[in-house]
Structure 1
C-alpha cells in the first residue's frame, strides 16, 4: 500500500511539472520569440541566423506570397532569386546649383521585391512567365492614372485597368513556396536628386534579379563585363569626345566600349503592324523617341543577331503611341484592351521561345514614350527593363536601377531631325528665363500665376500663337539663358531635350522626375532643378547663379548635346546608343 501511495504522489508531481512547463511555453509563445515560436527558435540554433535587418525583411515577405495565376498556357507568379553585389557607382563631379530655401523634405527608398523560391524547368504545357510585381500589386491600391503631353482635344486621363492577370475563369495551377518580399522603405512625397542617388545605390546593393533557369554562355559574358566595369581604372582621358564633369563616373563609362564590343540583341519578329514593327508612324512629334529607336534597332547590323542563344538582350518592338491610337476608345476611361494586347503578345513570345522563360523576361526590354506605358506594362512586362519617358520614381511604378528614363524628344522633321540645332552665344541671350506651353497638370498654372506678365526678364506664356515652323517658340529658346521645363500631367516633358538642343540651360520643375541616362550623366553639372514649391522664388534662384557659373553650365550643355541627338544614321554616343547603353548597363548590374 505504501508503494502505491508513493507512486500516486510521484505521478501527481509529474503531471504538475508538465503543466508548469506547458504554461511557460504558452507564455513564451504569447510574447513571441524572434524567430516565430519556441520550437523553431530551438531547432534553428545550429543554423545560420539572419541579421536583425534581414529578419524584418524575411518576416514581412511571407505574407506577400501568392499562388501562381494561370492564363491559357501561361503561369504568372512572383519570383526572383539572384542577388547582385553593391554597385559603388561614383557620383562624379557633383557641382550642382544650391540655393538657400528651407525644406523639410526627406525621403527613403528600398530595394525591389524579391524571393528565394526555386524554379523547375518549364514544360511545353505550362510556360512560366515571371512578373515580380503581380503578386504584390493585387493587395495594394492602384494609383490614379493621368495622361500627359496629349494632343489637343485627343484624350483625357483614364482610370486604371483591372488586373489583367486575374481575368474571369483563371485559377492557380500549381503551388509555389511562400515568396519573401523585401521590406519597402517608404518614398516621400518629394524625391530629390540626392535621394535618387541613394535609391539607386540601395537598389544596386539589394537587387534581386531572376536567376536563369538554365545556364548560357551569355551569362558568363555579362558577369565578365560587370567585373571589368566595377574594376575600371581611372581614365587618363585623352578622348575629347567625353568631358569628365558631365558624368557621374567617367571611368564607369568603359561600359559603353564593352557594349560596342560584345552586345548582341535579338529583335522579335512577331507582332502585327502598326502597333508592332512600324517605326515610320512615330518619327515625329513628342513620341518620336520610340519610333526612332525602333527604326535604328531594326536596321542595325552591328548589335542585332538572328540567333536568340547569342543574345544578351531581347527587344520587344512595339509603339506605345500606336497602341493608344489604334486601340483606345476615346471617352471610355478604360485601357483594359491595351493592357490585354500587351499580355497576349507576351504569351505569344513565351509560347514560341524559351528565351523569355529562361530569365523570366529580365533580359527583355521595351522602349515606350507615351505616358500610359508605365502603367500599361507594369503587369505582364514589369520584369523587363523598361525605357520609359514617364519616369516618376515617387508615384508611378518606375524602378531605379532596372527601368531606364527615356529622353522625350520633339522631332519636327523626320527627314532632318537636326534642323534648327543650336542657339545664340551667351552674350546674345538677353532673356533670363522662358516658358510657353499648354496648361497641362497643376504645376504650369502655378508658374503662370506667379510669373506671367509679372517681370520683363521672365518670359512666361501660355501656348504661343502658331507660326511657320514654330519660329516664335524656337527663337525664344535660342535667345534665353534658362529654359523652364515644367511638368505637364506627368513628370516628363520634351522641353528638357529641346533646351539642350538649343543650348539653353534647362531648369527642371518636376518633383520625382528621373532625368534621362541618370545612371551615367551628372545632371547637376549642366541643369538646374527647382522644387515645385519654390516656383514663387524662381527668379531669385536663377539670379543667385553667378554669370561665371552660368557660362560653365551653358558650355556643358553644348558638350552633353551629342547624347540627345537623333541622326538619320546613328553615330557614336548619340541618343540611340545612349538608350541602348542604359538598357545594357542596367542589365549588366542585375545579373
Structure 2
C-alpha cells in the first residue's frame, strides 16, 4: 500500500478522518478504515525510533503500525488439548512459534474474549508439538499431521460461525517447524485462505502464498529465561574474517560450500562441517560470527535458516543463499540495505561478490544490521517494534491487503 497525496476518491478530510471512532466500528469497517488511512499515510522521512534505510517505505510502516496498536483485536480459540495446543515451546531453533503463542496469549492489548469484536482469529497450535505427538519416527509420512490439523479446523468451523463467514481468510496460524506448511495441505480453505506465518517460506512448493502468507523468522533460543543472551557484536575493525559458516552439510547448497572452502582455517572464507576442537578452543561459534564481516546463511533441507537472525543478533551482515525463499517481513523491510542475497547458481562467485563490496557500502550495511536488530528480538514483556510486534504487524498487514475497498 503506497501513500497518496491529498484527498482523492471521495475520502474525508484529515481533520474529520482523525475523529473517526474506530473502536465503535464493526470489525470489517474498522479494517477498511485502517486500509484507507494507510493509503494516505503522512510522509515520514525520518524518525528517532526507526531507521529509514532498513524500510521499503517508512511512512507506510509507521502509519500501519500505529493503527495496528490502536485497532487490532484477536480472538484465540480456547479449543484443543495440550501439549499440541496452548503449550509454547520456548527453546531451540523452532521457538518462534512458541514465543509468539506465549506472548499473544498473555496480551491484554490485542486479545479479546468476545469473538464478535475480533478482526483476526488465532489457531493456537504448535507445529513442533504436533510433530512430537503425531509423527511416527522413521515413517517419512506427514499425512497424519495434516489429518489432525484438518480435523481441528473442521471442528472449530462446525462449532463456531467465524471460519465460515470468510472461508478462513481472517484466521491465522504460526508454525516454525520445517513441516509446518505440509500440515496444512489436507484442508483446502486452510491452505488457500488462512494466513500462514511460516519459517519454511518456500514459494516453489505451492503452499506458501507470497503476499498473503507471512515469512516467520527462525530464531535460536538457548536460554528461555534470557532470550537476549549473546546478543551484540564487535566493531568492524575487530572482524578479521571475511565470511563464516559452521554446521551440518545437508541439502543442495551446503556441500558445495564445503567443497569450495571447507576447513580452510586460514582463508578469507571459513566453512566448517563443525568447528574443530583446535579452533573452538580459541574461538567459539558465537565468537566466530561476531568476528566475521559476513555470515553465510545457506539453506539446508528447507529454505529457512536460524543463522539469518543469529547474524543480525551478532552484528554480522547475513549472506542468504536459498532460492525461492521469501525473506521475513519482505513487505516492509529493505533487505538489500543490510544483507546479501546470492543466487544458488552463483555460489562459486561468493568470495568475489563479497570482496567487490566497497568499504563505505559495507559500513552502511553493518550499521543497518545494528539498527534492524531491534525488530528481531524477543522480550519476556514485548517492547514496541520488537519481533513479537513485527510478526503481528505482518499478519495484520496481510489481512488489510486482502480487503477490497469496494467489498465492504
- Tell me the TM-score normalised to structure 1 length: 0.62
* Contact 2:202/2:303, CA 8 A, preserved across alignment: yes
Q: Matched residues in 2 for 1:544 and 1:529: separation?
A: 14
Q: Which runs of 5+ in 1 are unaligned?
A: 1-86, 91-215
Q: Does 1:313 align with 2:110?
A: no
Distance 2:323 2:335 in 1: 15
Match of 1:46 in 2: none
Say whether 1:242 aligns with 2:50.
Answer: yes
Of the three residues 369, 375, 398, the one matched with 1:563 is 375
1:436 aligns with 2:246: yes
Counterpart residue number, 1:410? 220
Unmatched tracts of structure 2, length 5 or more: 5-24, 404-408
1:56 equivalent in structure 2: none
Cα distance in 2 between the residues matched to 1:396 and 1:360: 19
Aligned in 2, Cα 1:527/1:302: closer, same or farther, shift over 3 Å?
same
Could you tell me how far 1:543 is from its partner in structure 2?
0.3
Q: Does the CA contact (< 8 Å) of 1:369 and 1:406 recur in 2?
A: yes
Answer yes or no: is 1:335 the counterpart of 2:142: yes
Partner-residue secondary structure (3-state), 1:226? helix
Pair 1:260-2:69 in alignment: yes
Structure 1 residue 458 corresponds to structure 2 residue 249: no
SS of 2:112 mapped into structure 1: coil
Note if contact 2:3-2:41 (Cα within 8 Å) is conserved in structure 1: no
Cα distance in 1 for residues equivalent to 2:340 and 2:181: 26
1:449 has 2:256 as partner: no
| Richer in helix (by share) | 2
What residue is the counterpart of 1:127 in the other structure? Answer: none
Output the CA distance in 1 between the equivalents of 2:48 and 2:148: 46
Q: CA deviation at 1:439?
A: 1.1
Counterpart of 1:326 in structure 2 is 133
Name the structure 2 match of 1:275: 84
1:165-314 map, 5 Å: 217-237=26-46, 239-253=47-61, 254-279=63-88, 282-314=89-121
8 A Cα contact 1:375 1:396, kept in partner: no
Paired residues, number? 377
Q: Is the 8 A contact 2:86 2:101 kept in 1?
A: yes
Q: Are 1:424 and 2:266 matched, yes or no?
A: no
The CA deviation string for residues 100-136 of structure 1, in whole angstroms up to 9 with x for no partner, is xxxxxxxxxxxxxxxxxxxxxxxxxxxxxxxxxxxxx
Match of 1:333, SS state, is coil
Give me the CA root mean square deviation: 1.9
* Cα distance in 2 for residues equivalent to 1:468 and 1:411: 21
CA apart distance, 1:533: 1.1
SS at match of 2:204: coil
Whole-angstrom CA distance in 1 between matches of 2:281 and 2:251: 26
Separation of aligned partners in 1, 2:145 and 2:183? 7
Instruction: Give the greater-gyration-radius structure (CA).
Output: 1
Moved over 6 A (4+): 466-471
Distance change >3 Å, CA 251–CA 545, structure 1 → 2: same
Alignment of 1:539-550 (within 5 A): 539-550=351-362
**Deviation of 1:333 (Å):** 2.0
